[in-house]
């Protein structure tokens, strides 16, 4: 099993980009729904007595705004170079997308397209987190095999080299 996972190398940058795209799709959909509800509400107020409540419009736009913020954060995460930080962020993204997909499966199962998108983003972030785990382990092995400049200097001093290079 671990051999198969090692063969699948998904970079964290790709995972962040996929999460950004999924968030953008959510932003577009929720903004569209918000505008549609707003225009229906205005039409209902003009032609009939009453319409939908303002809270419905506010909720659609609030969800769109939150997903827009997450889209911006995913884009900013691509700039992080530290592998340990990326691994931690990838685990958090996996938990977030998995929670959203489970909530959608239980509460709104008719949104199959969005469920598939969130499950895909969740799986990609999990595989990216596993890839980062192996990359971190490989970097540690390489780091242990080489000596730092300070270690080389101290070993040269210990060996009695007259002018060790710093």
The answer to pTM > 0.85 is no
Structural domains of the chain, count: 1
Contact of 98 with 122, CB cutoff 8 Å? yes
46 domain-assigned: yes
Residues 154-165 have a mean pLDDT of 76
Q: Which range, 2-6, 43-47, 69-73, is most confident?
A: 69-73
Q: Is residue 7 over pLDDT 60?
A: yes
The C-alpha atoms of residue 14 and residue 123 are separated, in whole angstroms, by 12
164 domain-assigned: no
Burial of 26 (0-12, 13-18, 19+ CB in 10 A): buried
Contact of 27 with 73, CB cutoff 8 Å? no
Catalogue the E-assigned strands of 19-154: none
The pLDDT tens digits of the residues spanning 83-121 come to 888 999 999 999 999 999 999 999 999 999 999 999 999
63 domain-assigned: yes
166 domain-assigned: no
Q: Is residue 42 over pLDDT 90?
A: no
Domain limits for position 103 = 2-159
């Amino acid at each position: 099993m671990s051999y198969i996972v090692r063969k699948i190398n998904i970079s964290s940058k790709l995972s962040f980009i996929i999460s950004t795209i999924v968030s953008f799709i959510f932003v577009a959909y929720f903004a569209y729904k918000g505008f549609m509800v707003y225009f229906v509400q205005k039409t209902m107020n003009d032609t009939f007595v009453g319409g939908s409540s303002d809270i419905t419009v506010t909720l659609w736009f609030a969800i769109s705004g939150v997903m827009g913020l997450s889209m911006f954060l995913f884009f900013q995460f691509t700039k992080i170079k530290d592998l340990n930080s990326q691994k931690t962020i990838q685990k958090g993204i996996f938990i977030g997308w998995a929670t959203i997909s489970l909530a959608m499966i239980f509460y709104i199962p008719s949104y199959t397209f969005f469920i598939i998108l969130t499950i895909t983003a969740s799986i990609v972030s999990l595989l990216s987190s596993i890839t980062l785990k192996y990359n971190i382990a490989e970097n540690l092995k390489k780091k242990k095999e080489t000596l730092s400049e300070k270690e080389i200097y101290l070993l040269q001093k210990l060996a009695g080299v007259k002018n060790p290079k710093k």
